[in-house]
A and B are shown apart, each in its own frame.
Chain A
Amino acid sequence: MPTIPRSTVRDALSISLTVGVYGVAFGAASVAAGFSVLQSCLFSLLTFTGASQFAAVGVVGSGGAAVNAIAAAAMLATRNALYGIQMAPLLQVKGARRVLAAQITIDESTGVALSQAPRGSDAMRAGFWLTGTGVFLFWNIFTLLGALGAKALGNPASWGLDAAVPAAFLGLLWPRLETKFLRLVAGASMVFALLVTPLLPAGLPIIATVAVAVAVGWRPR
């Protein structure tokens, strides 16, 4: 077992805890959308990819059909496949370990692994496993706390939970808006979603905005 640089452990742990705490927001959002505490916890254990989980409960919360909720979550999860493509040659794992590696292939584990590149591939692998398992642990603990908390509070509107959910989405969106072009895409998507809201069944406008991504991304800029 090669020694793991201390700074890699520190990076992995600080990211795990910071991101894991967001699990409170997910647990609360999930219960506010009508899922049970058990279902909320199963989401975090089995789906384990934050934005997709928020999207699934968000579509359900806005009255959308099951198929729309699943489609929105799946489209947000496609980036994990791209992360897996980058991580597989680094990790070189088979069988059960590959299944575990796949489940913890998310933004944070991939991000920390890639950021450890200057410290060598052992540090990259350690960064991936430590961050992936760390986020998994904290995300699930805090999901349970958030779900139990929301259940105890009752009426979501009375405690502002119904505004906390879109605020959480805004918080997930914000760091992605790095360029003026991306801010324009976000603005166009918001306008598009509002325009089609009266025309489409509940929940469908969310999926329909993928059309904006397809239209804008079709040709190189």
Chain B
Amino acid sequence: MSPSMMWTVLIGTSSLSFTIKMLGHSVPERWFAHPRLQRINALIPISLLSALVVAQALVVKTHVVIDHRLAGVLAALCALFAKAPFPVVVVAAAVTSALVYHLH
């Protein structure tokens, strides 16, 4: 991605995020009161975060690829099952992935 596109992402994300926050502080409550909107809104983070996990762990461009990253994410999964705190989860993934990367 070109440098100007990187700035576009930064400025677009920042201005939209702030507008959304400001909207919450400014609009009448009933605007967001529709039950369907609330149900979907509660599920969006689950769907998007799930997609981001697989996109980052298993995808290169438009191909599904199994490599060292998957080993790291599986280590993270084990750490989460063991109720490890967030930094341990991330470090476990990084160490495992780096090990597999260098062994190959």
Contact = CB atoms under 8 A, between A and B. Distances in A.
B50 to A, nearest CB: 4
Nearest to B4: A66
Given A78-B41, A160-B94, A194-B64, A167 B76 contact: yes
Interface in A143-190: 157-174, 176-177, 182, 185-187, 189-190
Interface in B33-81: 35-36, 38-59, 61-64, 68-69, 71-73, 75-77, 80
Contact of A81 (B20, B44, B62, B64): B20
Interface stretch (A5-13, A117-125, A133-141, A199-207): A199-207
A197 B63 contact: yes
Interface in A38-56: 39, 42-43, 46-49, 51-56
A54 B48 CA distance: 11
B20 A163 contact: no
A214 interface: yes
Given A52-B17, A70-B13, A82-B41, A58 B55 contact: yes
A61 interface: yes
Interface in A92-114: 98-99, 101-103, 105
Determine which residue in A101, A160, A194, A202 has the highest number of CB atoms from chain B within 10 A of its CB, and name it: A160
Nearest to B23: A81
Contacts of A70: 8-9, 12-13, 16
Nearest to A62: B55
B103 interface: no
Contacts, number: 313
Interface residues of B, number: 75
A interface residue count range (under 10 / 10 to 19 / 20 to 34 / 35 or more): 35 or more
Nearest to A198: B62
A211 B46 CA distance: 12
Contacts of B5: 66
Given A166-B69, A166-B93, A201-B62, A209 B35 contact: no
A102 B22 contact: yes
Contact of B9 (A56, A88, A182, A209): A56
A85 B48 contact: no
Contacts of B9: 56, 60, 66, 69-70
Interface of B: 1, 5-10, 12-14, 16-18, 20-27, 29, 32, 35-36, 38-59, 61-64, 68-69, 71-73, 75-77, 80, 86-87, 89-99, 101-102
Given A56-B9, A162-B72, A164-B72, 11 more contacts: A47-B14, A61-B56, A72-B48, A76-B45, A79-B41, A80-B20, A84-B24, A85-B24, A194-B64, A201-B62, A212-B43
